[in-house]
Amino acid sequence: MRFPMLAVLAAGLSLAGVATADNAPCASADDARIVQQYYRDVRPAAPPPAVGRLFRMKETAVVSAIDAAHAWGVRSDPVFFDQVWKSIDSWGADTRIGLVFTSGGLHVWNFPSKVPQTWETTDLLFYDMYADKGDGVHGHITQYDVDQIWALQLPTKEEGKFTRILSFYNTQGDLIVGLYVSEGTKAFDPRAVEGFERTRELLKTRPRACVRD
C-alpha cells in the first residue's frame, strides 16, 4: 500500500492582500553582472537556488538578473494565480516533472513527481494540489502569499537543451515551490515542455517584474 507524501509548499495565510512591488528583492545592475557572468562562464543552466546560496542573494534577485529572453517573471495576484495553476493542470496528470521547495529559502528539497493537480477542496483561502490522483505528493499554497511567478528557460552548453523551471516566490523573494520541467541535459517528459511553453506564454501577457533601467 502506498501512502501520500505530504509536502507543505506554503504555510500561513496573508489577510493583508498582495504585497507592493518594492517588497521582493530585485537584482541591481551589479547583481545582474555577477549572475550573468556566472551563468555564461561558470555554470550554464544552474538551478537558481544554488546560485542564490552561492552569492547570498534572494532567489528573485537571481532570476531577475537573467536576461528577459531566458527569464520572464510577473507580479501575481489571486486571480492570476488561478489562471496560472489552471494552465499547469492542463499539462496533464500523468506528466512527469521535478518538484523543488525550500524551508526558509535555505534547505532545498528536489524530488520526482507527476504534475500536482488542483483538488476539489480548493477555495478562496488556499489551493490544494494532489499528484498521482492523491497517491503522490500533496500540499497547499495560499495564493495571497505568492508575490511573483517566473518562467525560466536557461540554455545549457549543448545547443537546443535547457533547464526549464516555473517558480513561485513569496514577498521576501524566497522560493515557495518550483516545477522543474527539464534540468540540464537530462531526459525529460516532452508533455511537460509543451505545457510549460503554454504557461510561459500566459506569463508573457503581463509586464515583466523587476525591470532594470
Map residue 213 onto helix, strand or coil.
coil
Q: Is the pTM higher than 0.75? A: yes
One-letter identity of residue 210: C
For residue 115, the domain's CATH number is 3.40.1570.10
pLDDT score for 36: 97
* Structural domain includes residue 20: no
The pLDDT score that the predictor gives to residue 101 is 85
In a domain, 169, yes or no: yes
Range of the structural domain that residue 114 is part of: 69-203
pLDDT at 71: 98
Contact 156, 139 (CB under 8 A): no
Nearest to 25 by CA among 79, 105, 84: 105
pLDDT tens digits, the chain, 213 residues: what are they? 333 333 333 333 232 233 334 568 999 999 999 999 999 999 999 999 999 999 999 999 999 999 999 999 999 999 999 999 999 999 999 999 999 988 766 667 888 999 999 987 777 788 888 999 888 998 888 999 999 999 999 999 999 999 999 999 999 999 999 999 999 999 999 999 999 999 999 999 999 999 865
Q: Quick check: 65 and 38 in contact, CB under 8 A? A: no
Q: Is position 119 within any domain? A: yes
Q: Is 51 a member of any domain?
A: no
Residue 26 to residue 150: CA distance in whole angstroms:
13
pLDDT computed for residue 138 by the predictor: 86
Model pLDDT, residue 213 = 54
State which amino acid sits at residue 73. G
**CA separation, residue 138 to residues 31, 65, 116 (Å):** 35, 32, 7
Is residue 167 within 8 Å of residue 62, measured between CB atoms? no
Q: Are 88 and 179 in contact (CB under 8 A)?
A: yes
DSSP category for residue 186: S
Tell me if 7 is assigned to some domain. no
Let me know if residue 47 belongs to a domain: no
Handedness of CA 19, 111, 50, 182 (dihedral sign): negative
Nearest to 4 by CA among 180, 98, 132, 94: 132
Tell me if 15 is assigned to some domain. Answer: no
Which strands form 117-118's sheet, in the order they lie side by side? 117-118, 127-130, 138-141
**Domain presence at residue 62:** no
What is the spatial distance between Cα 209 and Cα 64, in angstroms, rounded to a whole number?
A: 8
For the chain, how are helix, strand and coil distributed in percent, rounded to 5? 30, 25, 45
Q: Number of folded domains in the chain?
A: 1
